[in-house]
């Protein structure tokens, strides 16, 4: 990519805004959008907002707080209560739609304090071809996506983040914890805490990119295919520790980590969500 050309396009894009309210998760996409807004607009005109809800890992929340502090960015913490929404916690194929609707409605409340500021998210070009019901919620609430609008995909996002020296430039994707639970199985705080604890355990054992899929009484662990053998050789030590978190059984997915693997179970009719 032509980095300087992309930066020029982004500067022009942000110059049209009176201010921004950015849905921030601590991940590289929304971190880049937040950083760029702070770079191109005066400090009072960039407002980062993070929802510290049950589906966000505690360590991801801390990453977001530290990022905002390091880059002198105003960050507001809200608490969306999607787990109280029956349409969300029954975990349908379009669960993310209800989650993002709660988030964007909350951001609209924040916006009332900031006049004509525009609500932004970190959606990139590559996200547009995936099963992401949250995109519908963003469209309904007129949320804008500078990365997607300028045709910047994940590789370009990481390249730009690295160019600016952002600490999260190579941070593994960390989807919300609810994405670890198969569609149709209820989402509860207890399950989310079990997933978080198991993934933290694996992170501490040296597996930085990991998913623990929650199947009720059992779980399945995914790490990148290149690390599966290493995980298997460590399983005698790690699997009993994971079971102690509250699982009767724990198995290793020998296929390896595949982002969005749960989406394979969706019927074709669900793909329209």
Does this model's pTM top 0.85? yes
Q: Rounded distance, CA 44 to CA 27, Å?
A: 22
pLDDT for residue 217 is more than 80: yes
Query: Span 55-64, mean pLDDT?
Result: 96
Q: Per-residue pLDDT tens for 71-88?
A: 999 999 999 999 999 999
Nearest of 181, 173, 196 to residue 59 by alpha carbon: 196
Cα distances (angstroms) measured from residue 59 to each of 64, 65, 98, 128, 232: 9, 10, 24, 27, 26
Domains of the chain: 3-163 (3.40.50.620), 177-264 (3.30.70.2210)
Condensed to tens digits (0 to 9), the pLDDT of residues 118-138 reads 999 999 999 997 788 999 999
CA dihedral angle for residue 58, residue 61, residue 66, residue 69, rounded to 10 degrees: -140
Query: For strand 211-214 and strand 218-222, is the pairing parallel, antiparallel, or unpaired?
Result: antiparallel
Mean pLDDT of 86-93: 95
Lowest mean pLDDT among 121-135, 143-157, 184-198: 121-135
Contact at 8 Å (CB) between 103 and 77? no
Looking at residues 209-213, what average pLDDT do you find?
96
- Range name among 58-62, 102-106, 159-163, 170-174 with the lowest pLDDT average: 170-174
For residue 247, what pLDDT is reported? Answer: 97
With bands split at pLDDT 50, 70 and 90, how would you rate the model's confidence at 267? low
């Amino acid at each position: 990519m032509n980095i300087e050309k992309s930066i020029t396009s982004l500067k022009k894009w942000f110059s049209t805004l009176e201010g921004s309210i950015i849905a921030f998760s601590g991940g590289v996409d929304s971190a880049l959008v937040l950083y760029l807004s702070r770079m191109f607009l005066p400090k009072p005109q960039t407002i980062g907002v993070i929802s510290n809800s049950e589906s966000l890992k505690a360590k991801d929340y801390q990453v977001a707080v530290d990022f905002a502090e390091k880059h002198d960015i105003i960050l507001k913490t809200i608490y969306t209560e999607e787990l109280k929404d029956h349409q969300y916690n029954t975990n349908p194929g379009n669960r993310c739609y209800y989650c993002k609707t709660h988030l964007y409605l909350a951001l609209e409340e924040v916006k009332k304090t900031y006049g004509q500021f525009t609500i932004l998210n970190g959606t990139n070009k590559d996200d547009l071809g995936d099963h992401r019901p949250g995109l519908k919620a963003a469209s309904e609430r007129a949320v804008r996506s500078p990365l997607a609008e300028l045709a910047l995909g994940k590789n370009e996002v990481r390249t730009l983040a690295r160019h600016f020296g952002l600490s999260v430039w190579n941070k593994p994707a960390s989807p919300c914890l609810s994405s670890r639970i198969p569609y149709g199985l209820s989402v509860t705080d207890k399950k989310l805490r079990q997933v978080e604890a198991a993934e933290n355990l694996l992170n501490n054992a040296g597996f930085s990119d990991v998913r623990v899929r929650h199947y009720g009484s059992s779980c399945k662990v995914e790490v990148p295919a290149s690390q599966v053998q290493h995980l298997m050789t460590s399983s005698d030590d790690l699997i009993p520790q994971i079971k102690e978190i509250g699982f009767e059984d724990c198995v290793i997915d020998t296929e390896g980590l595949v982002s969005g693997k749960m989406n394979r179970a969706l019927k074709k009719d669900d793909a329209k969500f």
